[in-house]
A and B are shown apart, each in its own frame.
Chain A
Amino acid sequence: MKKPFEPKVVAFLCNWCSYAGADNAGISRLQSPANILPIRVMCSGRVSAEMILRAFRAGADGVMVLGCHIGDCHYINANHRTVKRIPLLQKILGYTGINPERLILDWVSSAEAPKFARVTADFVDKIISLGPIKDELKVTHPATPVSLPVEEVVS
Chain B
Amino acid sequence: MDAGRHPNIELLDYSEVVEVNGYVGNFQARIKRKPRYIHSDLCTGCGLCTEACVLRGGKGKLMVPSEFDEGMGTRAAAYIPFAQAVPLKATIDPNSCLWLVKGKCSKKCEEVCGTNAIDFDMEESFLDIEIGSIVIATGYKMWDPAQIPDYGYGKSPNIITGLEFERLTNAGGPTAGEILTAEGKVPEKVVIVHCVGSRDERAHAYCSRFCCMYSLKQAHQIKEKTGAEVFSLYIDMRSFGKDYEEFYRRNREEGIQFIQGRPSQVTVDPESGKLFVDVEDIQLGQVMELEADMVLLATAIEPPENADQLASTFGLGRTPDGWFAEAHPKLRPVETASAGVFLAGCAQGPRDVPDSVAHAGAAASEVIQLFNQGVVTIAPTIAQVDEEKCVGCEECIHSCPYTAIWRNHAQKAEVNPALCQGCGTCAAACPSGAITALHFTDDEIVAQIDGLLKLAV
Contacts and interface: CB of A to CB of B under 8 A. Distances in A.
Given A43-B423, A51-B442, A81-B429, A76 B401 contact: yes
A153 B455 CA distance: 9
B425 A45 contact: yes
Given A41-B445, A51-B442, A148 B428 contact: no
B104 to A, nearest CB: 54
A41 B425 contact: no
B337 interface: yes
Contact of A81 (B337, B381, B422, B425): B425
A58 B455 CA distance: 12
A42 B450 contact: no
Given A48-B428, A55-B449, A147-B447, A42 B455 contact: no
Contacts of B325: 76
Interface string A66-79: 00000101111110
Interface residues of A, number: 35
B428 A85 contact: yes
A75 B455 contact: no
A147 B450 contact: yes
A46 B424 contact: yes
B317 A76 contact: yes
Interface in A1-34: 6, 8, 10
Nearest to B439: A42
Contacts of A153: 451, 454-455
B320 interface: yes
B423 A78 contact: yes
A76 B320 CA distance: 12
A45 B424 contact: yes
Contacts, number: 94
Given A46-B425, A46-B427, A147 B451 contact: yes
A110 to B, nearest CB: 12
Interface string B432-443: 000001001010
B143 to A, nearest CB: 23
Contacts of B337: 76
A143 interface: no
Contacts of A71: 320
B425 A75 contact: yes
A45 B423 CA distance: 7
A37 B453 contact: yes
B449 A39 contact: yes
B299 interface: no
B425 A78 contact: yes
Given A41-B440, A153-B454, A46 B428 contact: yes
Nearest to A149: B454
Nearest to B445: A51
Interface in B254-297: none
Contacts of B440: 41-42, 46
B147 to A, nearest CB: 26
B448 interface: yes
18 contacts: A8-B453, A37-B453, A39-B448, A41-B424, A41-B445, A42-B424, A45-B424, A48-B442, A50-B442, A51-B445, A51-B446, A58-B449, A60-B453, A71-B320, A73-B401, A75-B423, A147-B451, A150-B454
Interface of B: 317, 320, 325, 337, 381, 399, 401-402, 421-425, 427-429, 437, 440, 442, 445-457
Interface of A: 6, 8, 10, 35, 37, 39, 41-43, 45-48, 50-51, 54-55, 58-60, 71, 73-78, 81, 85, 146-148, 150, 153-154
Given A46-B427, A58-B449, A77-B401, 4 more contacts: A45-B428, A60-B453, A75-B423, A75-B425
* Minimum-distance CB pairs A-B, first 4: A147-B450, A45-B425, A46-B424, A75-B423
